[in-house]
């Protein structure tokens, strides 16, 4: 599997041992530190269209989550421990500290956004600013799971089924599964928004049974431990202590309703806007995504 260094000219590559396993990351640019985390079923490569503009203002750290891309994919037990967002968030702090950053901003898409808000809740004071792309908190997703939402996000329950059922089904034709999911979530309902080199990278990870297992474990943790963490924080009235920007695809999963009211239940300082895209704003509409991120991350808005 190519690491696609040609998509990130001038960036350094890192393999760093953390409490969440060995993490692959790239770093580049100059300025305050900014950690960027991808979602399912992708890798750090999702940021290649927005990184050049952001790197003019920030020292970017683009990490593969545990079990994705080039990061290690440890086998999980019944508690799904390596793939809880609490464990992943702790691993990201280890990564940033290894690179010399104790405090930083974070942009997270999809599962990366869930790691981001969990990091903010578990480690107050670590984040300067948090941007979440095309998600609402896990608590809100499960507690809103009605007939309509369950149909739209069927992968939440499918991937969370006990192993080895989803792993086996995906493993029969991983390219088909990945291509179909990404096309169905894009605003154009096809693969045209994605660079062929990026698609090849995403597909390559899904050729590895352990990475398929890891991505299922991510969702098993989401149905159990991650939800329990959110419920405990909600009951305790715990909130995110940094400014939050919520961006969502106007043709994405939560497109019918603005998620801002939901995020304001979890943080006091929230703003956001839709992006003309499906579920993948950084790849489908990098210009609008960058234009929304920069004023927030630099403190200009």
**38 counts as catalytic:** no
The CA-to-CA distance between both ends of the chain, in Å, stands at 39
The closest alpha carbon to 66, from 129, 15, 11, 3, belongs to 15
Nearest-Å Rg of the Cα atoms of the chain is: 17
Does the N-terminal peptide bond of residue 210 adopt cis geometry, omega within 30 degrees of 0?
no
Give me the count of residues in the chain. 301
- What is the Cα–Cα distance from 65 to 87, expressed in whole angstroms? 11
Q: Which of 110, 134, 179, 226 is catalytic?
A: 110
Q: Given strand 104-109, what is the order of strands in its sheet?
A: 12-18, 21-28, 59-63, 33-37, 104-109, 127-133, 244-249, 270-275
Q: How far apart are CA 107 and CA 244, in angstroms?
A: 10
Compute the Cα dihedral for 36, 181, 84, 233 and give only its sign. Answer: positive
Alpha helices, DSSP H only, in 123-224? Answer: 138-143, 147-152, 155-158, 165-172, 174-185, 196-205, 209-223
Catalytic residue check, 110: yes
Give me the catalytic one of 155, 201, 213, 279: 279
- Quote the tokens at residue 130: 């948090």
Query: Residue 42: helix, strand or coil by DSSP?
Result: coil
The neighbouring-strand residues paired with 130 are: 106, 244
Query: 244 has which bridge partners?
Result: 130, 270
Answer yes or no: are the C-beta atoms of 270 and 241 closer than 8 Å. no
- For residue 182, give the nearest of 205, 164, 162, 160 by alpha carbon: 205
Q: On the CB side of 216, how many CA atoms lie within 13 Å of its CA?
A: 25
Active site residues: 110, 279
């Amino acid at each position: 599997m190519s690491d696609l260094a040609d998509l990130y000219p001038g960036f350094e590559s890192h393999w760093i041992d953390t409490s969440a396993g060995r993490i692959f990351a790239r770093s580049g640019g100059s300025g305050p530190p900014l950690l960027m985390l991808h979602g399912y079923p992708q890798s750090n490569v999702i940021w290649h269209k927005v990184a050049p503009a952001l790197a003019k203002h920030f020292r970017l750290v683009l990490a593969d989550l545990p079990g994705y891309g080039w990061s290690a994919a440890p086998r999980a037990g019944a508690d799904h421990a390596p793939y809880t967002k609490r464990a992943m968030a702790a691993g990201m702090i280890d990564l940033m500290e290894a690179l010399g950053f104790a405090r930083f901003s974070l942009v997270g898409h999809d599962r990366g956004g869930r790691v981001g808000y969990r990091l903010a809740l578990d480690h107050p004071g670590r984040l300067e600013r948090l941007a979440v792309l095309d998600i609402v908190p896990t608590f809100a997703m499960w507690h809103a799971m009605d007939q309509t939402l369950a149909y739209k996000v069927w992968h939440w329950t499918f991937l969370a089924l006990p192993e080895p059922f989803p792993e086996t089904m995906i493993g029969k034709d991983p390219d088909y599964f990945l291509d179909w999911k990404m096309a169905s979530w894009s605003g154009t309902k096809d693969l045209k928004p994605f660079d062929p080199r990026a698609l090849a990278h995403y597909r390559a990870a899904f050729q590895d049974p352990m990475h398929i297992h890891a991505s299922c474990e991510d969702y098993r943790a989401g149905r159990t431990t991650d939800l329990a963490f959110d419920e405990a924080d909600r009951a305790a009235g715990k909130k995110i202590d940094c400014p939050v920007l919520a961006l969502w695809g106007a043709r994405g999963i939560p497109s019918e309703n603005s998620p801002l009211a939901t995020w304001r239940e979890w943080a006091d300082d929230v703003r956001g806007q839709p992006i003309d895209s499906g579920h993948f704003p950084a790849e489908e509409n990098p210009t609008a995504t960058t234009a929304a991120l920069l004023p927030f991350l630099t403190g200009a808005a």
